[in-house]
Structure 1
């Protein structure tokens, strides 16, 4: 129509542009785009030599449990495809059996063979990881029924684990006092406005305090940092309102707040390194391994009262007399945190040799490698051309250059590349879901919600618009043809 308009009445182009499609047409187009993406994914899935799933569950605005499933598949050319597989509404129970039935349906609809399933990453909830009736246990049982010899590798999301490790510090009392102070300032509009004006009068670097919520636990680091920097201003403001600030001004509390501020900042840096799409699990493992080594260094330094990596603690130590700063107590906290990391990441440690085969195949000890890989590993390590290629393109890309004459190494690389280290994509999808299924759009059907999220979360796939238009043209028959 716009092309006709340009030729016949170009001055009326804006009027034609303003004509919108009907709501039914828009809904139909969204479904068509989504179906096209799903068909492309099914087609790609036929070439997968290894794939893994990331599964998580959350409730939407109408309290319906939604099961999010993502797939990460690797084809024969060792190209990785990481895409949304399905969003399944759980209108009834959400037991391990219910979750298994939905995930199993997703796998069967894709036409994927169970023997190529390598890993399953979940949020660690009992319904997911229960030893007898959890999702992981039931999928393992299904794979045994299908006579699959390889063991399914199940992971509890790295980012979840890291967050739970932080809870081992048992410093909730510090956050409780801070949250109470922040809520006093932020909860009432008048207090909040007066506090911002108060900071303006004092000419501070920051003009406000951020909120902290348990769901968005990354915000904890920002709240702590800001509260530590504005500690004096917060106390002065609360005192001007007749509030008791004895707790906030206590030396022990100030030291604990400084320590929590620094360690949370370090945890947040690591967390951001673990987030994002297309993360290779061996790189994520290296990040966690590096953090464990840092914890060991920090503990030794804390015992010697060396606070070079704890700037807030350094500030407090200079402000207070050295005798008051509890370095030994904080060194114990770091020791507890390191022990928790070792405990929670034990399953990743068990896969260490598998990750090293992908991350550094030229540095792997051939004798300790699985027998089926030893001959190919020797050939690889003695090939200078391949070594040069590895140094030039890096570990993740190098896998694609492993020659076809080394099939076992290619399969091993494909399996490791297919693994999800976290359920980050599921969490990201739930954020998209909350933006799309709001209280004003609560009647959005399950099918339409699935279609919207499939389009908005697509990464390596794009709808084939030309093909869709061509199909529509074939359906439209002109009057003269009739």
Structure 2
């Protein structure tokens, strides 16, 4: 059982790591969670057939001429089924509506599936006939691309950003708390860490040498 749990927690750790990062959005997170749930269903079928390819640690503990006891297999299947149920309770792996799939790629979606209300369909038609915008989309991240189109196509950009901008996980909050623990220690408990945290959490590389040269007497 210990080897099985090591394999399961390793898979969960890998999933958790893939759900971290500044560029993660709700759509990507939902896709990863939905894929993991489908993998669990596949693993259950394989374990029932005695296939342990997805559990390397457990597979190493099983000798060539032996198989897992039926009671042990039943416990593994029961645990993974409970894991699937837990995912349904903790995560809402909702998919984009068909009329909003264009958000993932404005140049590939079938226009017949796009909602006729508003000006989004007209904006998509205009964008598809603009080679410069297509090149910009190819070389930009999705949220950055939509943000750059707020003036030219405000309705389209607003609709897309409403889906992509909200935080998908608590990764950034946890990163901020970890940073605060390193900066504001017991010996510096009266420190106002606001500016220090802004520097520590910034994605930009600051030129401290140039700043210090201007401040020196």
CA distance in 1, matches of 2:19, 2:38: 17
Q: Size of the alignment, in residue pairs?
A: 210
CA distance in 1, matches of 2:30, 2:154: 25
CA distance in 2, matches of 1:368, 1:375: 6
CA distance in 2, matches of 1:272, 1:379: 38
1:258 and 1:316 in contact (8 A); partners too: yes
Q: Which residue of the partner structure matches residue 406 of structure 1?
A: 153
Q: Sort the Cα spacing of 1:368 and 1:355 in 2 relative to 1 into closer, same or farther, 3 A.
A: closer
Find 1:441's aligned residue among 188, 194, 199: 188
1:330 equivalent to 2:84? Answer: no
Note the C-alpha offset of 1:324.
Answer: 2.0
TM-score, normalization by structure 1: 0.37
Uncovered stretches (5+) of structure 1, i.e. residues with no partner = 1-255, 473-482
Larger Rg: 1
Note the C-alpha offset of 1:393.
Answer: 4.9
In angstroms, what is the RMSD of aligned CA positions?
Answer: 3.6
What aligned pairs does 1:64-463 form with structure 2 within 5 A after superposition?
A: 256-318=1-63, 321-324=66-69, 326-346=72-92, 348-349=93-94, 352-353=96-97, 356-361=101-106, 362-363=108-109, 366-367=112-113, 369=115, 371-372=117-118, 375-376=121-122, 379=125, 383=129, 385=131, 390=137, 393=140, 395-400=142-147, 402=149, 404-442=151-189, 444-445=190-191, 448-460=192-204
Q: Sort the Cα spacing of 1:461 and 1:451 in 2 relative to 1 into closer, same or farther, 3 A.
A: same
Which secondary structure does the structure 2 equivalent of 1:278 belong to?
coil
Note the C-alpha offset of 1:434.
Answer: 1.3
* Structure with the bigger percentage of strand: 1
2:143 and 2:165 in contact (8 A); partners too: no
2:114 and 2:121 in contact (8 A); partners too: no
Note the C-alpha offset of 1:327.
Answer: 2.2
Note the C-alpha offset of 1:272.
Answer: 0.9
TM-score, normalization by structure 2: 0.76
Q: Sort the Cα spacing of 1:458 and 1:265 in 2 relative to 1 into closer, same or farther, 3 A.
A: same
1:376 and 1:408 in contact (8 A); partners too: no
Q: Sort the Cα spacing of 1:403 and 1:414 in 2 relative to 1 into closer, same or farther, 3 A.
A: closer
What aligned pairs does 1:31-46 form with structure 2 within 5 A after superposition?
A: none
Q: Sort the Cα spacing of 1:337 and 1:300 in 2 relative to 1 into closer, same or farther, 3 A.
A: same
Note the C-alpha offset of 1:451.
Answer: 2.5
CA distance in 2, matches of 1:317, 1:373: 61
Q: Sort the Cα spacing of 1:311 and 1:393 in 2 relative to 1 into closer, same or farther, 3 A.
A: same
Which secondary structure does the structure 2 equivalent of 1:318 belong to?
coil
Q: Sort the Cα spacing of 1:453 and 1:328 in 2 relative to 1 into closer, same or farther, 3 A.
A: same
Q: Sort the Cα spacing of 1:376 and 1:305 in 2 relative to 1 into closer, same or farther, 3 A.
A: farther
CA distance in 2, matches of 1:309, 1:402: 44
Note the C-alpha offset of 1:360.
Answer: 3.2
Which secondary structure does the structure 1 equivalent of 2:118 belong to?
helix
Note the C-alpha offset of 1:309.
Answer: 1.2
Which secondary structure does the structure 1 equivalent of 2:63 belong to?
helix
